[in-house]
Amino acid sequence: MTPTTTIALIRHGQTPWNAEFRIQGRTDIPLNDTGRKQAQDAATTLGEGWHAIATSPLTRAAETARIIAAELGLDSPTAVEHLVERDYGRAEGLGAGEELESVRIPGGFQEAEPEVEVAARGLLALEHLRDTHPGHRVIAVAHGSFIRLTIASLFEFDAPRIGNASVTVLTHDESGWELQTVNGEPARGLAARTD
């Protein structure tokens, strides 16, 4: 019998670019004070009983993870490259308007990482965390588009926008993956039998 592994995907806290509605992607923007408070609130939402924490290597995720780890008494976060945000190519740094529209192409933006590649990378990240921490409860701090595209692909549904410092929980057992919550709200039993 396969033990149940629980993974909580947390989007990093707010950054100045989030507050300005600018696309971040791989651009390495730190948290603002609101984001740091959101990270503390996420730790309170998660509560006790977690075994490990992983993070995207980008500063905003790593700082969120360090705050959560300190609040919950966990060891320092482990960086997992696959958790990094989607590369938005020429759209990074842009907000809504003519300049953003000038780099838009069908299915995304010029020079951006394709959504299917982000989703495939997301599944690799989930499998890595499951295989590294079988039967444990693991927190993974990542990014909005990364989380949304990963769960949308895995569970074949139109996933909502992922809020800053929100909690999305998946479990894995002998039946496969099951989505428990999205943005802290019940996911109503979406399951993917992928094993």
Known binding positions for substrate: 11-18, 60, 85-88
Q: Which of 12, 82, 143, 172 is catalytic?
A: 12
Q: Which of 85, 92, 113, 178 is catalytic?
A: 85
Is 85 one of the catalytic residues? yes
Q: Are 4 and 173 in contact (CB under 8 A)?
A: yes
Longest dimension (CA), the chain: 55
What are the angstrom distances between the C-alpha of 125 and each of 85, 129, 131, 147, 162? 12, 6, 10, 11, 18
Tell the burial category of 44 from Cβ atoms under 10 Å away from its Cβ (0-12, 13-18, 19+): exposed
CB atoms within 10 A of CB 89: 17
Q: Tokens representing 164? A: 């800053």
CB atoms within 10 A of CB 86: 27
CA separation for the pair 60, 177 (Å, rounded): 28
Is 12 one of the catalytic residues? yes
- φ/ψ of 107, rounded to 5, equals 85, 5
- Residues annotated as catalytic (active site), given as ranges: 12, 85
